[in-house]
Amino acid sequence: MSSVTVRVPAKVNVQLSVGPLRDDGFHDLVNVFHAVSVFDEVVAKESETVSVRVEGESADQVPVDDGNLAIQAARALAKHAGRTYGVELVIRKAIPVAGGMAGGSADAAGTLVACNELWGLGLPLEDLMEIAADLGSDVPFSLLGGTAVGTGRGEQLTALPVRGAFHWVFAVADGGLSTAKVYAECDRLRAAAGTRVAWPQVSEALLRALKDGDARALGAELTNDLQEPALALRGSLARTLEAGREHGALGAIVSGSGPTCAFLAADEEHARELAEALKGAGVCRTAVPAHGPVAGASIV
């Protein structure tokens, strides 16, 4: 096999609760991930060396050196296998770059699946998940897909039952936000307010809404502890969130560390209408309807 193509989804966090800062510099999280139908494609081709080329959405903003998480994933997989392998990676971007939807993590997950197939390693998902956890907190979920609660740094995953499909609109902003800077701002705001940070707990009401397929109940339970710091760093997002609510969104939230904003719609038609309304309101660069949950990284 000389080429393998993998499709891998973006995510939205329907709950992101950030606990106290740990000694290792990370936070304990309760992170309810939901994979949605905005996809990157990762193509892995035979090569003597490891390289990456990026095409599509904001391609010029993605590093193509060792800072690229997909290159790190390929090298980590080769090291796990105890061999020296090369691969030419082509990443076709549709997930916003630095947009709070785990695009880099998705590309790393897609690389693990593609190279596992290209190199004929035959490693099970459990092995790929272990490698993924060392690459970043969101990478294991990009492999798993569906809907899942993540604990620890977010990498310890338990799949969740979901009835039917939920319909979303993602309002994509100009430029990105650094995840590290948003977490740092979260810590700064908490320290300035003297906030005593509680141990994060998963919302039982949110789990019921997912299990019942109740979009209205889910919209009321969307929470993200990184929303306040994201708004502090990018004040214009408040107007984006308000515009979505004004046009009937059942829930409005900053996606992950932002600046993409996520809006829960009543159904597919409402999602299309809401996307057009947000584009017309001039509060985002573009607005994309999507649905979830969808499968994780998959060979196509």
Task: Tell me the per-residue pLDDT of 1-46, one tens digit each, with 9 for 90 and over.
Answer: 799 999 999 999 999 999 988 888 888 889 999 999 999 999 999 9
For 46-93, the three-class secondary structure string (H helix, E strand, C coil) is ECCCEEEEEEECCHHHCCCCCCCHHHHHHHHHHHHHCCCCCEEEEEEE
State pLDDT tens for residues 82-96.
Answer: 989 999 999 999 999
**Does residue 181 have a pLDDT over 70?**
yes
User: What confidence score (pLDDT) does residue 98 get?
Assistant: 85
Pairwise CA distance, residues 226 & 247, whole Å:
24
Has 255 been labeled as part of a binding site?
no
The verdict on pTM exceeding 0.75 is yes
What pLDDT is attached to residue 204?
Answer: 97
96 assigned binding-site residue: yes
Q: Is 104 annotated as a binding residue?
A: yes
Known catalytic membership, residue 279: no
Instruction: Please indicate if the annotation marks 97 as binding a ligand.
Output: yes
- Read off the pLDDT of each residue in 132-150 and give the average, rounded to a whole number: 95
Report the pLDDT value the prediction gives residue 276, as an integer from 0 to 100. 98
Selecting among 60, 138, 225, 279, the annotated active-site residue is 138
Average pLDDT over residues 234-258: 97
174 is an active site residue: no
